[in-house]
Amino acid sequence: MFNLQDKIAVITGGGSGIGKAVALLFARQGAVVYVTDINTEQANGTVDEIGSNGGKAQSLICNVAKQSEVKAAFASFKHIDILVNSAGVSHIGKADDTSEEDFDRLYQVNVKGVYNCLHEALPLMKEKGGVILNLASIASSIGLPDRFAYSMTKGAVLGMTLSVAKDYLKDNIRCNCVSPARVHTPFVDGFISKTYPGREAEMFEKLSKTQPIGRMAKPEEIAHLILYLCSDEASFITGNDYPIDGGFIKLNN
């Protein structure tokens, strides 16, 4: 089950966090993985790890927020089977204390970055079909405190997912998104150490317990759901958002 043998998979943000976990898992399932990231060192690190385990991978260095770079990165492809839009940035703030600069930065990466990759990948999928998986968030479904700009971008990702799923049904292109709650990634560790110096362990425990299940998700857990949705076993699924949230949406009242 969940065999991706020789499928061409492009994973944005594949140098770290959820994107890296997806890249490693897809490679183990036989995919030829293109690890797309703005950080050359991190992208190459993922590629090396895949190679050391017998997998096939190449790094694809580009800033997803810049269409010219995405066009150049995708120019060598004749076909893509799977696109996972995992690249993204976060921000803490409400509407009245979010700067225009921060708002634009989140839009450029989280919204325009997804659009840029869709714009280039969809023509490469039309002949043989394909699968697109976008990373949304529980912030696209419920209100989260101090996440104004981030919630805006993830709401847009959900909207783009539904639109693409509808528009490309006849092209045999499926498009879904997953909406994680808090996931333990290097970003979370960096945020805690920067915001709460000397209280890292305390705050990690506190943030973990905001999930009803009592802990943060592991990137690998998100990757397993993404693998299913991108596999042939999910061939009847399109136009859906899948919360993977430790009970946050339904059980946090």
CATH of domain 8-181+219-241: 3.40.50.720
Q: Which of 195 and 124 is assigned the larger pLDDT?
A: 124
pLDDT (average), residues 14-21? 97
Q: Which stretches within the chain are classed as H helix?
A: 17-28, 40-52, 67-74, 100-106, 113-125, 148-167, 186-195, 200-208, 219-230, 248-251
Q: d(Cα 18, Cα 80) in Å, to the nearest integer?
A: 20
pLDDT at 48 over 90: yes
| Residue reference for tokens 């996972």 | 84
Q: Which of 6-20, 21-35, 194-208, 211-225 has the lowest mean pLDDT?
A: 194-208
Closest CA to 107 of 122, 132, 92, 89: 89
* Domain range list for the chain: 8-181+219-241, 183-216
pLDDT (average), residues 7-25? 98
Query: Residue 237 — very low, low, confident or very high, per pLDDT cuts 50/70/90?
Result: very high
Label residue 142 exposed, middle or buried (CB < 10 Å: 0-12, 13-18, 19+). middle
Per the annotation, the verdict on 150 as an active-site residue is: yes
Query: Residue 194 — very low, low, confident or very high, per pLDDT cuts 50/70/90?
Result: confident
- pLDDT tens sequence across 105-139: 999 999 999 999 999 999 999 999 999 999 999 99
pLDDT (average), residues 200-211? 92
Annotated active-site residue in 34, 150, 196, 228:
150
pLDDT at 253 over 80: no
The chain-wide mean pLDDT, for the chain, equals: 96
pLDDT at 212 over 80: yes
